[in-house]
Amino acid sequence: MVKRSRAKKTMLRDLGGGLILRRATLADADALIAFNCDVHCSNGTERKPMELWIRDLMSGDHPTFGPSDFTVVQDTNTGAVVSSLCLISQTWSYRGVKFGVGVPELVGTRPGYRRRGLVRAQFEVVHGWSARRRHKAQAVGGIPDFYRQFGYEMALEMEGGRLGLKSEAPKLKRGDTEPYRVRAATEGDLSFIGRVYREGMKRYLVSCVRSGSLWRYELKGRRRKAIERRELRVIESTSGDRVGFLVHKAVPWPRANSFGVEVYELKTGVSWLAVTPSVVRYLVTTGGRHVARTKKELTYFAFWLGSEHPVYDVMPDALVRTRDPYAFYVRVPDLPGFLRHMSPVLEQRVANSVIAGYTGELKLNFYRAGLRLVFQRGRLTHVGPWTPAEGQSAAFPDLTFLHLLFGHRSLEELRLSYRDCFATGDEARLLLAVLFPKMPSAVWPVS
């Protein structure tokens, strides 16, 4: 049975039928571990790495998360946790403009309790938390279609990359020494890593902003075999000069026959062509040890760096396989407010384009609602709701405009799938192309 004092203190809703929705406390750690391992480890994921991640989240040591950021649906008849999720707060960047994001994670329900609206009730709660924290958006990675029912659209590039055969990895010539070595990062390297990371993320539309406390947490805060632990590695020359860094998994994926990096960045002015062969040889050596733990053999080295990255340009023939990116589901509850927040980016794009100093308006028809943007001499002076009527500039059904906003698809690409998505003339098409160009993103979210 549920202890009445704890249930009353953390209670959020009575869901009926003996089910209550409440916030978690430290006392729920073991129950949440058992629940998440039961629900999320049926696909081959080992239970221990999952358990250690939950313990990390429940420890109170995470820079942006605490135990009460979990929601719990509990059956008061048995005391069992039957559904749960959590919200991890973080800061992302949209072409240099920072904005708060809430990331729902570890969403699940026990089979016997599904199709009762338990996840929907929890999403309503965490969306409220996110609003109070002044998050401009929410984002979640998850199974196809599911999160659309809560106002999300798969509109932001996620993961993906390229793989090369181990047998085709560049070899050192006989007698040569490795020109660059890869070593474990120390706390003294974190400011360097942070600087190089920030510079590299300028290539992308959307990226995750990482503070010093987050870098320290990645280095020293997680349990050694937690599923979300990553290894930070510094790349340096034989003389000890730091030239870059990389990030890869600490725990091998049980079914994988590849090993790769999830972040790989070099200092400005350092040659990707010169450094990358040493990095590949490191991946082959280290990956061989990782994969051997799962009783497999390494077949591929990999760069899980999204759709675009400098490393792809320096060894195109060796990277023989491409894995197309998946997508984050994104939700923007206040689209006018989001666009006003991003006005410096939009105004800069106008200023650097063939429509510099533009004066005019853009009326976006979302069919059930609309949005009007007004520019005066290149400045965005108004963003607000607009009732669809005559004079529309463009039309976007459902949440398709989010694809344009987050650089995921061009207008022409959207039209291939949505014939009711269109611009009404040359000026509107040009303005949309200037304001919302297709661009890659590279988001390594806080977890």
What is the domain-level CATH number for residue 368?
3.30.1050.10
Do 305 and 350 fall within a single domain?
A: no
Do 174 and 224 fall within a single domain?
A: yes
Averaged pLDDT, 226-240:
97
Q: Quote the pLDDT of residue 1.
A: 45
* Partners of 87 in the β-ladder: 104
- How do residues 3-50 score in pLDDT, each as one tens digit? 555 556 789 999 999 999 999 999 999 999 999 999 999 766 789 999
Do 279 and 366 fall within a single domain?
A: no
Q: Quote the pLDDT of residue 183.
A: 98
Q: Is residue 146 part of a domain?
A: no
pLDDT at 324 over 50: yes
Do 23 and 124 fall within a single domain?
A: yes
Averaged pLDDT, 100-124:
97
Q: What is the CATH number of the domain that holds 200?
A: 3.40.630.30
pLDDT at 311 over 90: yes
- Helices 343-351 and 426-435 pack at an angle, to 10 degrees, of 120
| Structure tokens belonging to residue 189 | 């390297």
Q: Is residue 304 part of a domain?
A: yes
Its domain, for residue 287, covers 161-324
Do 170 and 279 fall within a single domain?
A: yes
Q: Quote the pLDDT of residue 5.
A: 52
Q: How many CB atoms lie within 10 A of CB 207?
A: 21
Do 375 and 274 fall within a single domain?
A: no
Do 81 and 56 fall within a single domain?
A: yes
Of 93, 118, 135, which residue sits at a domain end? 135
Domain count, the chain: 3
Q: Is residue 142 part of a domain?
A: no
pLDDT, the chain, mean: 95
Query: 103, 176, 172, 141: which is closest to 327 by C-alpha?
Result: 141
Q: Is residue 151 part of a domain?
A: no
Do 235 and 293 fall within a single domain?
A: yes
- How do residues 430-440 score in pLDDT, each as one tens digit? 999 999 999 99
**CA dist., res. 408 & res. 406, Å (int):** 5
Q: Is residue 141 part of a domain?
A: no
Do 179 and 279 fall within a single domain?
A: yes
Do 252 and 294 fall within a single domain?
A: yes
pLDDT at 407 over 90: yes
Do 347 and 310 fall within a single domain?
A: no
Q: Is residue 446 part of a domain?
A: no
Q: Quote the pLDDT of residue 294.
A: 76
Do 63 and 128 fall within a single domain?
A: yes
Q: Quote the pLDDT of residue 131.
A: 98
What is the bridge-based pairing of β-strands 97-109 and 137-140?
A: parallel
Q: Is residue 175 part of a domain?
A: yes
DSSP strands (E only) in 278-436:
300-303, 321-323, 326-331, 360-365, 370-376, 379-385, 394-395, 422-423
